Amino acid sequence: MTAMVLRARSGPGRLLALLGAALAVGAFTESAAAQQKAAQYEVSVWEIRATRDNDKISKELRTLAAELKKRYKYTGYTLVKKSAGSAKEGGAFSASLSGGYRAKVTPLAREGQRITLKVQVAKPDDKKAPGVNTTFKIDRGAVQLAAGLGKYGGSDDVMIVGVSAR
């Protein structure tokens, strides 16, 4: 486009060349804005309490009940907390969990309807406490169960952490 502008110094040819250059810049700007918007993710961190003391399942967890029972072998599951926020690709969303734990979810890439996430769950004040540091791909909007860790206040109940992203 620049070569056309330099050759067409006057008349209708220059006007067309300038118009073409302006349209190209506008298309590039819209494309960059679309890419920047696409790099924004809505992230959720689910704190789930698993118990053997009852068989109650929070209504928000009913779609996950079979997977929870299969993976963790508990009978009851309660959604303690769901934290939601946004993060840019390569940026992190953090959420506080019970018992001093902290979850950090970093969206790394999007390939169609699949999202690659790095998930870290740790207890910053206790380096010996169990934690998670993993990367996986999930379907957009699906909940991935990432960890079963930490006991709740002297009971045999455990914390399970799930994550999702859009």
The CB density around residue 88, as the number of other CB atoms within 10 Å, is 13
82 dihedral zone (left: phi>0; alpha: psi -120 to 50; beta)? beta
6 pLDDT tier (thresholds 50, 70, 90): very low
Which residue did the predictor score with more confidence, 90 or 32? 90
Residue 13 has pLDDT above 70, yes or no: no
For 67-79, the pLDDT digits (tens) are 999 999 899 999 9
Give me the mean pLDDT over the 37-46 stretch: 86
145 dihedral zone (left: phi>0; alpha: psi -120 to 50; beta)? beta
Q: Tokens at residue 25, please?
A: 């810049």
Give every CB contact of residue 155 below 8 A, 6+ residues apart in sequence. Answer: 51, 53
Give me the mean pLDDT over the 95-105 stretch: 94
Rounded Cα distance between 8 and 33, Å, is: 31
For 143-155, the pLDDT digits (tens) are 999 877 877 777 8
- Give the pLDDT score at 34: 53
Residue 7 has pLDDT above 50, yes or no: no
8 pLDDT tier (thresholds 50, 70, 90): very low
129 pLDDT tier (thresholds 50, 70, 90): confident
Q: What percent of the chain has pLDDT over 70?
A: 77
* Confidence (pTM): 0.75
Give me the mean pLDDT over the 109-129 stretch: 92
- Give the pLDDT score at 39: 81
Rounded Cα distance between 21 and 18, Å, is: 5
Rounded Cα distance between 51 and 79, Å, is: 12
For 101-118, the pLDDT digits (tens) are 999 999 999 999 999 999
Residue 2 has pLDDT above 70, yes or no: no
